[in-house]
């Protein structure tokens, strides 16, 4: 029996009876009932009532090639018929992860040429944490194992992902984090720059917090620094241009590995294949997932730089780590087909030269001037709108986060899916968006802001 045999009400009741959702207040969900999305095509999703909604979040930052790509379904179908599964443990492999690894090495930033697979971004960050600590142990420095991260970072929801992340609410529920991970300030000028401090100087000061943490621990005790090139779930926080080059300089000075979490920024979102290229830095590890398959299959790839990978080979010894679905043949087949689409349609270049700049201009010209908007910002097709009560003083509405939820609810009611996190509205659309889609989104967001203003005043 398919879902078409059920009414919306029935599906909501079954959902409430049996389905625990991620990051959800279940009491609230039971009262409201879930929104049930039943199909999607191109840039649109459709709910069980047939309502067409423009998806400003690419699902959850992942559907970069848009919905309805038969090519990806065909790739999965062919692979499932030929070989649905075999593992890559015990010196075995299957063709699609082999070919995908070479393909990723071709598009990865300079010096990054090996791949370790998982099924999610969280798993890939677990791998990254284990791997950098293993690396230093192989180098005869097992005590060099502290990881420096940032407050408000999001690195996933497993125990390691939560520990690496800097979300207070998540840490409070963790009941004990992975030891020896510390968090320094995030590079978010709108809230943290001092009066009169330039963006450039603020970026250097935020990078200095990384240096201070290394010096405080002693460089002989610090394995790595991890960061999202642009903080995503924390509110699309775009660092000043001075930040990443300075962080890289500091990491090199103290022989600390640089780990980037590109689960959101990887595969074209910034207008480069990887944000490492956007910021001109050469990390030692790059965590990727989401848009690797455009969300059509669960797959993550930890891209590993030559320094770490070569050490695994030279020193030998088993790395006691891996997942049943590491290098899953179907997921890897879909990833290969997905990367083909991104390349063939020139989506990365289009974000860089056309839609990214148009998106930035549209946000500035059509959203930034609204009374409720303190700041808009974007890189490529990744943007944020800060909701404030007072533009001049940056005063927020109380309780914190409530105003953004009001705007979001009006946006969704107006057929525009976007996300609210704290007092920030987030946009991360499929890379297939055109200038027309951006116009449509701005129109709907502007209307949602107007409606929210009436509610909030
Ligand atoms: N890292 C970053 C930067 C993310 O944004 C996310 C998810 O949004 C993750 C890791 C975790 O990925 P997953 O939800 O696939 O475990």
Give the three-state DSSP class for 286: strand
Task: Please give the Cα distance from 42 to 409 (Å, whole number).
Answer: 23
> In the block, which residue shows the tokens 């595969």?
267
Ligand 1 centroid to Cα of residue 192, in Å, is 25
Sequence-ordered strand ranges (E) for 25-102: 37-41, 44-47, 52-55
What is the ipTM metric for this complex? Answer: 0.99
Task: Please give the Cα distance from 125 to 287 (Å, whole number).
Answer: 6
With cut-offs at 50, 70 and 90, classify the pLDDT of residue 334: very high
Among candidate residues 264, 371, 294, the one with its CA nearest the CA of residue 40? 294
Ligand 1: residue of 154, 162, 226 to mutate (most ligand atoms within 8 A of CB) is 154
Q: Is the pLDDT of residue 457 over 80?
A: no
Task: Please give the Cα distance from 351 to 154 (Å, whole number).
Answer: 24
Say if ligand 1 is within 6 A of residue 367 CB: no
- Please spell the DSSP secondary structure of 245-269, one letter per residue: HHHHHHHHHTT-EEEEE-TTTTTTT
**What pLDDT does residue 1 have?**
53
Sequence-ordered strand ranges (E) for 230-299: 257-261, 285-288
Task: Please give the Cα distance from 193 to 200 (Å, whole number).
Answer: 10
**What pLDDT does residue 2 have?**
72
**What pLDDT does residue 450 have?**
97
Mean pLDDT of all residues belonging to the chain: 97
C-beta neighbour count of 456 within 10 angstroms: 16
pLDDT one-digit tens code per residue, 341-362: 999 999 999 999 999 999 999 9
With cut-offs at 50, 70 and 90, classify the pLDDT of residue 238: very high
Say if ligand 1 is within 6 A of residue 295 CB: no
pLDDT one-digit tens code per residue, 112-137: 999 999 999 999 999 999 999 999 99
**What pLDDT does residue 5 have?**
87
> In the block, which residue shows the tokens 């943290």?
192
Ligand 1: residue of 156, 235, 274, 298 to mutate (most ligand atoms within 8 A of CB) is 156
Say if ligand 1 is within 6 A of residue 264 CB: yes
Residues pairing with 285 in the sheet: 259, 304
Among candidate residues 37, 43, 40, the one with its CA nearest the CA of residue 431? 43
Q: Give the mean model confidence (pLDDT) for residues 181-195.
A: 97
Q: Is the pLDDT of residue 50 over 60?
A: yes
pLDDT one-digit tens code per residue, 370-419: 999 999 999 999 999 999 999 999 999 999 999 999 999 999 999 999 99
> Which contiguous run of DSSP H or E holds residue 327?
none
Whole-model pTM: value is: 0.98
**What pLDDT does residue 12 have?**
93
Q: Tokens standing for 444?
A: 């709907």
């Amino acid at each position: 029996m398919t879902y078409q045999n059920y009414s919306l009400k029935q599906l909501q009741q079954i959902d409430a009876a049996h389905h625990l959702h991620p990051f959800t207040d279940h009491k609230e969900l039971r009262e409201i009932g879930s929104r049930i999305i039943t199909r999607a095509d191109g840039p649109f999703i459709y709910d069980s009532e047939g309502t067409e909604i423009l998806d400003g979040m690419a699902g959850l930052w992942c559907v970069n090639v848009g919905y309805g790509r038969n090519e990806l379904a065909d790739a999965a179908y062919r692979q499932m018929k030929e070989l649905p599964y075999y593992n890559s443990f015990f010196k075995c492999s299957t063709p699609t992860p082999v070919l995908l690894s070479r393909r990723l090495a071709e598009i990865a930033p300079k010096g990054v040429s090996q791949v370790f697979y998982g099924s999610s971004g969280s798993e890939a960050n677990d791998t990254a944490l284990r791997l950098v600590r293993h690396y230093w142990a192989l180098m005869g420095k097992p005590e060099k194992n502290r990881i420096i991260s940032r407050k408000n970072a999001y690195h996933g929801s497993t125990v390691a992902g939560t520990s690496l992340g800097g979300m207070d609410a998540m840490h409070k529920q963790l009941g004990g984090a992975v030891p020896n991970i510390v968090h320094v300030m995030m590079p978010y000028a709108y809230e943290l720059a001092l009066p009169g401090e330039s963006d450039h100087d603020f970026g250097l000061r935020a990078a200095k917090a990384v240096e201070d943490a290394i010096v405080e621990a002693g460089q002989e005790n610090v394995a790595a620094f991890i960061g999202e090139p642009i903080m995503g779930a924390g509110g699309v926080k775009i660092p000043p241009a001075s930040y990443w080059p300075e962080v890289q300089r500091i990491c090199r000075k103290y022989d600390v590995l640089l780990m980037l979490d590109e689960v959101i920024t990887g595969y074209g979102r910034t207008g480069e294949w990887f944000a490492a290229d956007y910021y001109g830095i050469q990390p030692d590890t790059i965590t990727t997932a989401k848009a690797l398959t455009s969300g059509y299959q669960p797959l993550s790839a930890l891209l590993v730089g030559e320094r770490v990978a070569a050490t695994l080979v030279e020193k030998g010894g088993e790395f006691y780590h891996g997942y049943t679905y590491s290098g899953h043949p179907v997921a890897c087949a879909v990833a290969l087909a997905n990367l083909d689409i991104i390349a063939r349609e020139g989506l990365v270049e289009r974000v860089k030269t056309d839609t990214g700049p148009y998106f930035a201009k549209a946000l500035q010209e059509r959203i930034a001037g609204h009374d409720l908007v303190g700041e808009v910002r974007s890189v490529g097709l990744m943007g944020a709108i800060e909701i404030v009560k007072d533009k001049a003083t940056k005063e927020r509405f109380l309780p914190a986060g409530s105003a953004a939820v009001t705007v979001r609810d009006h946006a969704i009611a107006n057929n525009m899916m976007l996300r609210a996190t704290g007092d920030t509205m987030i946009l991360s659309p499929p890379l297939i968006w055109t200038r027309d889609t951006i116009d449509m989104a701005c129109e709907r967001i502007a209307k949602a802001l107007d409606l929210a203003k009436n509610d909030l005043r």
